[in-house]
Structure formats: C-alpha cells, structure tokens
Chains A and B, each alone.
Chain A
Amino acid sequence: MSGIRVEHLFKSFGDFKAVDDVSFDVNEGELAALLGPSGSGKSTILRIIAGLEKPDSGQIFLTGQDVTDQSVRKRNIGFVFQHYALFKHMTVEKNIAFGLEVQKKNKKEIKEKVNELIELVKLNGYNNHYPSQLSGGQRQRVALARALAPEPRVLLLDEPFGSLDAKVRKNLAHWIRDLHKRIHVTGIFVTHDQNEAMEISDKIILVNRGKIEQIGTPPEVYEAPNTKFVASFVGNVNIVDAYADSTGIVINGSTGKIGYDAQQNGRIPGDIVLLVRPEEISVTRESTRENVIPASIEGIHYRGSFYEVDFIIGNNSVKSFINKDEYQQNNWQDGEKVYLNFRQFKVFEVSGGFHKIHAMLRHYGYIE
C-alpha cells in the first residue's frame, strides 16, 4: 500500500503555473526527496500534500485514503518548516507537547511521550528552554520532535536544512536518515541540494518548472538521467555541442569521431548535445586509441584530493576531475595537446522542432 500518492496535481498562482500535472508515489516507509531548483514548485507540491495549499485539480492519497478534501488539521501529517516555526513563547517541552494537547491526551501520557522524544532528538536537559535560547540545529530538532509527537502517518520536511551551516547540515541530514530507518514513517523532504538528496533519500523526484522530470533511486537518476535537466542538475556534467549521424558523433569545431550510431539509438541525425560527467573523461597522450578526441589543456586547478582540469575541444570547454596519482604520473601541462576519451556519456536532442526538421531534411537529401 502506498504511503503517499499524488495524481495529476495542478496549481496556478494567477498566470503562473506552479504545479503542472504532477503525479508520483512514495512507498510506505520510504524517504523521498523532492529535488529541484528554486521556483520549481517543489515546496508548493509539499504544501499541497500537507493541506496548506489547495490544488486547482488533482488528488492526494495518504496511506491509501483520499485526503484531497480534508483540511490540514485532520490529515495527521507531521510538517517541519524551513524556519522551524517554533512557538517562541513556549518552552521546548510545551512546543513538543502541543500536538498531543490538541488531541486532549492525558497529562501523564503527554509527559511520557515528550520525554521520549526529547531523548530521541538528544535534547535532554533543554526541556524548559525557550526557542530563543537554542541554536539553529537545536531548534530544528525541536521542530522535528514536535512534528513526530502526534505520531503522524507521513512526515513532510520543507528545506529542513536550509537555514543551517554546512557542517550542521551534514550531521543532521545523516541523523534524519537513521531516525527514519528506526521510525519507519513515510517521508518526503524538499531540497535544492542534490548532494543531500543523493546522500539520504531512497528515491529522488526531480521537479523543474512545475513538472516532474524523473523519478528514481539516487543511482538511477545519476547514472541514467532522462533529460538534460536531470543530467545537469544531479552531479556535475559537461554540456557539449555536437553533431551525430550513423557514422558517429563529431564535436562542433573539432576533429575526431566518437563511435555512435545515431540511427541505432533511435535518433535522427542532426545537432545534439552530449553530456559527459567530469569523472568519466579519460586523458591520454596517445592518438592511436579508438574514439579519442583531440583537445588542448586550458587550465589545471589543484583541489586537494584531486585535480580539476579544463580542456578546449573545438568550440567547447570541458572540465574533468583527475585522480591525484594519475595526474602526478602523467604530469600534464597547461596548453598541452592531448586526447580525451569519454567512457560514458548521454546524448540529447537539441530542443526545438526546427532543428529536428532541419536534420530530417538534411538526412533525406533535400538540403545540403
């Protein structure tokens, strides 16, 4: 049974389409990331699931139940806000107890549960502190405890690490991952940080301009991006202009062909963009290897545990990460002419119907 399911959500603010036909599934017990750039609509989607916004159309199901018309207070969700929204005039204890008091549980039960949660988030001794006396990371943990107290069926986190500094972020992110394993509540968190999403989620849902670009596990999304957006948003990627036909790929402005059969891969010959990750580029001085592309080194940057090397291929700039040992073995120099091999890459059509038509016409011989 699915933990969270949304079907065909639409939401516009005036003329602006914030959510454009979004459907996805999060299985019971999974922790999913809604990943995308600012303004992509991911927070809106989360708020719709929570009931804080009403969709223009579409349905929301929580643990199999249709909650589309239910008000937020009846949905039994746990929500953690980006800026925590702790009740500043209440102590840590009272904040956490709030949801339980609303449910009119008896005092003893409440006290027990609150202590349990304070223990869980490791804030023992801070019971009577006020939010203003806590650091950002501590406030975040209180917000989490407060959301978990009424035992919600799903947990929703809106950029939970947004206001924290890098180190605290990392700690907290991993800790939430472990907590989630222990508690087994279905969860979604919104983030624009793909590292975070990759590190702690079971499933990544990529959102861009209100639409879903791809859904998959972190490896799936990284290794097999479906669109240019996904490939460039998750992980680092080089975008290279090139031309492909049945004989191979030629990078604009350069010689050398990469072995590739356009037709076999179901593509019409024509202009393409080639996406290759920095770590998938091999460098060699030998021109005799197959599928190598001539390039010249434009810059070498030391990064501590690796080197970042920039190359020029024809009209394009390309970046690569070279292992320290390998670099030291070969000792490449700025300006040197070398040969690159792309061990793995993805090809996407250049967006725009004109290009497709142009390529098609060229293919069938109507134009030069």
Chain B
Amino acid sequence: MKNKKKNRRRYTWGDLSLRGISLFYIGLLILLPLVAITVEAFRGGIPALWKNITLAQSVYSLKLTFILSFSMVLINVVTGTATAWVLVRYRFPLKNIINAIVDIPFAIPTVVTGIMLVALYGPRSTVGMLLGKFDIEIIFAKPGIVLALLFVTFPFVVRSVQPVLMEMDKDMEEAAQTLGASRVRSFFKVVFPTLTPAILTGAALSLSRALGEFGSIVIVAGNIPFKTQVSSVYIYGEIESANIPSALGSAVVLLGISLLILIILNFLQRWSSKYDLRQ
C-alpha cells in the first residue's frame, strides 16, 4: 500500500497574504518609525546623545514630567478606586448619568480640555481670581498641570477597577466578616488584594498617558521653561526651533520609558488573570 507523504501546506496563499499585509502595515507604521528615531538619536554617538539628554532644560523638563505624573497617579489611584467603589456598590440618584460621564475625558480632545480648564480656573475666571487673592495659582503653574493630567486620565483607574469589583462576589467580603473581620479589615485583606492588579493596570495606563500628554498641558501650563515646561512641550519646542539633536535626546528617553511601561502592563495583564476563578 502506498504511503503518500506529501508536504501539506498548513496555510493557504490567502492566509499568507493576509499575514503579509498585517506584517507590512505594522512594520511600516510602527516598527520602522521606532527604529528610525532610535537610529537618528544614536547617530552622533552615545556621548553626544548623553550630552543632549543632560542639557539643563531637558533634565528639568524630564524631572518635572515625572514628579507631576507620579503625583497625579497617586491621587488618581485613590480617587479612581473610590469612584469605582461608589459606582459599583451604592445606589444614588443620577448614578447612571455619572457612570456615563466618567468616559468624557476619552471623548474630548485634549486641546478642548486645556481650554476648559483655563476658562474655569484661569487667572481671569471667578475661581481663579478668588484663589489669586490667596496667592494660589492653578493655571500657568504646576497645580494646573496636575489638574489637566487628572482630567485626561480620570477614566483609566475607574474603568480598570470597575469590572473587577463587579465580578467580585460580595460573598468573599461577607465570608471574611462572618469570620470576625471588621469592614475595614475585610477591605484591606480581601478586597484590596484582588483589586491590586486592576489598580496597578489603571495606574500604569494613567502614568503612560501622563508622561506623554501634550494638548491640554500646552494650553494650561503656558510653557515657561524651568517652571512649567514638561518633556513633551520641551521636545515640541526644540523641534520647532530646529534643534533636532536635543529633541531626539529627550524623545528617546520618553520613548524608552513608554516601552518599559508597556512591558510592565503586559505582565500586569498576566498577573490579573491569575485571580480569574472562571479559568
């Protein structure tokens, strides 16, 4: 009896061309630009690149970006988790509308955000003038930047935590309470650990967004070097003044950090699925 052993192709030509299209698309629009900017940054050699990164203005803007973003994330974690908790566990009037509005920052252009914040809290607004009396500056100062960042990243933690809270049976908490735990203790020992991956995911997403945020900050911060200039604005300024090397320096640093956060996010996704009992 003949034993036909033909080389049977697993994928048809159709499959392979779809794969080719996908690879070409991602290669051209994502991989290539990444490679291009990295190569250009290192073109002058590492010492030159380092010099550009460590320019005073560049360093300041990087430090400012990080400090403000991290502070914002800390606030966001607390308020975001609280908001998610309130939305999932309690009932109160207008809850559904509030739940829908949480997503507004996703829909509104960042420039519009900036303008809104200036209109409302700027030096010429009612609130701004009131605070001015106490010498508190929001817009065109660091608090304004944090405010803008809080606005644009508001949904991240909330929407990250909400589904986990909803899936979490109240049973777990109640079980803890029958075993004698107080509400606070059951929150910290039972609820919080389950929420941690989701909170961290939301935090990472907010951080990633904050580090790169441009549109709202450009309006709200006023671009004062060494005072309110974040990295993205600094890079933009350098590009406009045709100082490409210094722009490349900061850009590459921001890029590296973004990629790092991306990798961390991937790990977080895998960690959070560990708690999924349905698997």
Contacts and interface: CB of A to CB of B under 8 A. Distances in A.
A57 B8 CA distance: 10
Contacts of B2: 59
Contacts of A56: 5
Interface string A1-19: 0000001100000000000
Tier of interface size on chain A: under 10
Contacts, number: 15
Interface in A1-41: 7-8
Contact of B1 (A8, A54, A68, A69): A8
Interface string B190-202: 0000000000000
Chain B interface, DSSP helix/strand/loop, else mixed: loop
A3 B148 CA distance: 73
B278 interface: no
B4 A59 contact: yes
Nearest to B12: A71
Contacts of B1: 7-8
B15 to A, nearest CB: 13
Interface in B1-55: 1-6, 8, 10
B169 to A, nearest CB: 25
Chain A interface, DSSP helix/strand/loop, else mixed: strand
Nearest to A71: B12
Contacts of A59: 2, 4
B3 A58 contact: yes
Contacts of B4: 57-59, 68
B13 to A, nearest CB: 13
A58 B6 CA distance: 10
A8 B10 CA distance: 21
B204 to A, nearest CB: 35
Interface of B: 1-6, 8, 10
15 contacts: A7-B1, A8-B1, A8-B3, A54-B8, A54-B10, A56-B5, A57-B3, A57-B4, A57-B5, A58-B3, A58-B4, A59-B2, A59-B4, A68-B4, A69-B6
Interface of A: 7-8, 54, 56-59, 68-69
